[in-house]
């Protein structure tokens, strides 16, 4: 999840940090497994009691490469309600690369990039999975 900086029209190409530059979250598969273990352990104070979360996906666009790999773009809106008064919204676009697989779902996620619309995240943490 690269960071985003507000730029002028002339510098719009520099608005979203390139891979390897600043990121809110930059998980590989091992780090993602660790975050899942932690969030399901009951020891993650930021999710005790658990948040109420709703994820909406829209404008799903799929392009198939000659190799059978799928490039998927979609818009998302994630709403989180925490305790009695805390609310967060995460809005943006997600870019997935799916590779064919013989498993139950037929594809595996090979790469994912999440671009938030917000330049400044006002949420106290990003403990939800986008």
pLDDT of residue 85: 83
Residue-wise pLDDT for 74-123, tens only, equals 999 999 998 888 899 999 999 999 999 999 999 999 999 999 988 778 77
Helix, strand, coil: what percent of the chain each, to 5? 15, 40, 40
Number of domains in the chain: 1
Q: Is 56 part of a structural domain of the chain?
A: yes
Q: Is 4 part of a structural domain of the chain?
A: no
Residue 22 pLDDT > 60: yes
Q: Is 2 part of a structural domain of the chain?
A: no
Who has greater pLDDT, 48 or 98? 98
């Amino acid at each position: 999840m690269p960071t985003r900086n507000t730029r002028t029209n002339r510098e719009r190409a520099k608005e979203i940090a390139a891979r390897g530059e600043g990121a809110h979250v930059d998980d590989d598969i091992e780090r993602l497994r660790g975050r899942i273990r932690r969030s399901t352990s009951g020891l993650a104070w930021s999710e005790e009691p658990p948040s109420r979360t709703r994820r909406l996906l829209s404008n799903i666009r799929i392009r198939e490469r000659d190799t059978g790999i799928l490039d998927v773009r979609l818009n998302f809106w994630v709403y989180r309600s925490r305790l009695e008064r805390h609310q967060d919204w995460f809005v943006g676009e997600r870019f997935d690369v799916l590779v064919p697989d013989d498993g139950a779902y037929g594809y595996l996620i090979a790469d994912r990039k999440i671009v938030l619309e917000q330049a400044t995240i006002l949420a106290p943490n990003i403990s939800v999975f986008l």
